[in-house]
Structure formats: C-alpha cells, structure tokens
C-alpha cells in the first residue's frame, strides 16, 4: 500500500485555474484538462479549507501573442521582467473562457484569488507575479489564518501549478502536488522540467487516493 497522508486542520487545497479556457474547446486548452474536475470534486471534500485561483486577464494583456504584432502563440519574448511565453488570448475577464468549469463543485471554497490582472505582468504563481516581486497577498492570507501546508491541484501542471508550488515552498509552507489532479500544457519539455524542479526542491508529488481524511 502506498504511503498515505492524513489531512490536518491547518492544511489547504489550492485548486489552480480549473477554467474553461484550459479545458478542451477552450482558447488555451490543456490536453484532458477537464479530467481534473471529477478528481478535484472528490478531493476537496477531504479538506476543511479550499482556495481557488482564477486566471483573470484584461483584454490586450501583454502575455497574449496578439498584443505583439508578428509574434505567434508559444513563442518566447523578453519583457522588462524577463522571458515570457506568449499565449493565445485566454481567461479574459468576464468571458465564458475565464469561468470555472461548469462541473466544478466546491461549495466550501473560502477564497477565489484572481491573478494576471495587471496588463503588463503575467502571473503564473498564486503567490508572486512573473516579475517575481509583486505579491498577490496569498502568503499573508494563509499565515494570518494559520494555514501551513498546501496541497496543489489543477491546471496547468507545468505553469501555474509549478510556480505556485515552488513559491509556496520558498515561502516556508509545506507543499504537496497532487499529480493526478493536474494536467500539463507541455511546451518545450516543460512537464519534465517541472518534475525535475519539484524533485530538486524536495516537493512531494502524490496521487489523490493517498490523501485521507484524518
Ligand atoms: C496558465 C499559461 C498562461 C496556467 C495561465 O494556468 O497554467 N498558463 N496563463
Ligand atoms: Zn494566463
């Protein structure tokens, strides 16, 4: 039997960007992204605390290839804060694509954190924008509430899940990535790079079935 982890009252499930644009048919569809919905719906019932993130870009966001004439989605450019992958327009505020997947059922979610709302800065991480200095406020929120360990699930494994998990680890929180509750975009080996990076940091990857109610 695989090792099991019991959920504690100071644990939180962070559900990252389970939005229509990251699911099949969406503008930045992650292969089988919708498969995480049923897994997350079951998983969240084992947690006292759940926070959702919602990628939430203004029209004309600088992470969109369409904001850079001559550029195509999935190319990388250099912005003032460093390299930035260019994406198809996605998760534009108040559009259907930005809505959570209609099958997501997390009535007890305590916070919905919008990110990526500054036009000139992308934000993969739920903690810091891509300039790596602008905080979202999530670390303060978790600390003030005494929440010490995050279980991270959602989309996409190799971008927003990865950066959120890494930042949480660096900020001193316990972190576990629920691997089968994530799906990857996988550009230029980004899924393998994510596995390597999380292993180097000592962040555990586990399956949802290994997480049990205490
Ligand atoms: C994401 C690319 C752009 C994600 C968000 O949720 O992983 N990826 N915006
Ligand atoms: Zn985005």
Mean pLDDT of 53-66: 98
Q: How many angstroms separate the alpha carbon of residue 91 from the centre of ligand 1? A: 9
- Indicate which atom in ligand 1 lies nearest the CA of residue 154: 6
Cα distance between residue 121 and residue 110, in whole Å: 26
Q: What's the confidence (pLDDT) of residue 214? A: 79
Q: What's the confidence (pLDDT) of residue 137? A: 98
Atom 8, ligand 1: which residue's CA is nearest? 159
From 18, 19, 29, 55, give the residue whose CB has the most ligand 1 atoms within 8 Å, as the site to mutate: 55
List, as one string, the DSSP characters of 25-36.
Answer: TSTTPPTTTTHH
Mean pLDDT of 91-120: 98
Instruction: Kindly indicate the confidence band of residue 2, based on its pLDDT and cuts at 50, 70 and 90.
Output: low
Instruction: Kindly indicate the confidence band of residue 3, based on its pLDDT and cuts at 50, 70 and 90.
Output: confident
**Residues 10-59: tens digit of each pLDDT:** 999 999 999 999 999 999 999 999 999 999 999 999 999 999 999 999 99
Residues with CB under 6 A from ligand 1: 17, 22, 55, 87, 124, 155-156, 159-160
List, as one string, the DSSP characters of 38-99.
Answer: HHHHHHGGG-S-EEEEEE-BPTT-TTBGGGSTT--TT-EEEETTEEEE-B-S--BTTSGGGS
Catalytic residue set: 17, 115, 160
Q: How many angstroms separate the alpha carbon of residue 137 from the centre of ligand 1? A: 19
- Indicate which atom in ligand 1 lies nearest the CA of residue 17: 6
**Residues 108-167: tens digit of each pLDDT:** 999 999 999 999 999 999 999 999 999 999 999 999 999 999 999 999 999 999 999 999
Instruction: Kindly indicate the confidence band of residue 74, based on its pLDDT and cuts at 50, 70 and 90.
Output: very high
């Amino acid at each position: 039997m695989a090792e099991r982890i019991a959920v504690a009252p100071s644990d939180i499930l962070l559900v990252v960007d389970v939005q229509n644009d990251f699911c099949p048919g969406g503008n930045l569809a992650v292969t089988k992204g919708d498969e995480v919905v049923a897994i997350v719906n079951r998983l969240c019932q084992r947690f006292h605390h759940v926070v959702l993130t919602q990628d939430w870009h203004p029209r004309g966001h600088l992470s969109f290839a369409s904001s850079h004439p001559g550029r195509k989605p999935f190319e990388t450019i250099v912005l003032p804060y460093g390299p930035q992958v260019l994406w198809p327009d996605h998760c534009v505020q108040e559009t259907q694509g930005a809505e959570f997947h209609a099958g997501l059922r997390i009535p007890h979610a305590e916070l919905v954190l919008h990110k990526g709302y500054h036009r000139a800065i992308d934000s993969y991480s739920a903690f810091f924008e891509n300039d790596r200095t602008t905080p979202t406020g999530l670390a303060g929120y978790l600390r003030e509430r005494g929440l010490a360990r995050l279980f991270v699930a959602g989309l996409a494994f190799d971008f927003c899940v990865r950066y959120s998990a890494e930042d949480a680890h660096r900020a001193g929180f316990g972190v576990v990535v629920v691997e089968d509750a994530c799906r990857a975009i996988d550009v230029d080996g980004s899924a393998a790079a994510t596995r390597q990076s999380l292993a180097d940091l000592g962040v555990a990857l586990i399956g949802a079935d290994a997480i049990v109610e205490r």
